[in-house]
């Protein structure tokens, strides 16, 4: 599973893993994304709100990352309820989406 900016650096790796027989799922904030790309299942998620106007600049970045992390967390809960249980999760640490995924899948390996 890859989070947010897919395919990014996984443009070649994700389809190769699919060809090897692995189930690969990526999450995206892209509106109207197709249900799959080169055999990779795409799951859309959306943030519930934007950042607070006028928030203190020292906490603006963590607020934005927490909002994204919450959106991803809620999408992951839905995926888990549908039976999805990844062995490995790969995420970029800079956007916040990976903040809470171990709360959903504590046994999954998380690569940052």
pLDDT tens-place string over residues 11-41? 899 999 999 999 999 998 888 888 999 999 9
Residue 93, CA atoms < 13 Å, CB-side half-sphere? 3
User: What's the pLDDT tens digit per position in 35-93?
Assistant: 999 999 999 999 989 999 999 999 999 999 999 999 999 999 999 999 999 999 998 88
pLDDT of residue 18: 97
Give the span between the Cα atoms of 73 and 58, in whole angstroms: 24
Per-residue confidence (pLDDT) for residue 2, from 0 to 100: 46
Locate the domains of the chain by residue range.
2-111
pTM of the model: 0.87
The answer to whether 28 and 4 have CB atoms below 8 angstroms apart is yes
Q: How confident is the model at residue 4 (pLDDT cuts 50, 70, 90)?
A: low
């Amino acid at each position: 599973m890859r989070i947010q900016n897919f395919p990014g650096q996984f443009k070649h790796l994700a389809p190769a893993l699919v060809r090897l027989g692995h189930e690969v799922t990526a999450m995206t904030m892209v509106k109207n994304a197709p249900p799959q790309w080169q055999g990779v299942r795409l799951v859309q998620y959306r943030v519930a709100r934007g950042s607070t106007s006028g928030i203190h600049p020292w906490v603006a970045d963590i607020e934005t990352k927490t909002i994204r992390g919450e959106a991803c967390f809620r999408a992951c809960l839905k995926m888990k309820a549908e039976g999805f249980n990844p062995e490995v999760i790969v995420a970029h640490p800079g956007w916040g989406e990976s903040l809470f995924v171990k709360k959903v899948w504590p046994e999954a390996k998380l690569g940052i």
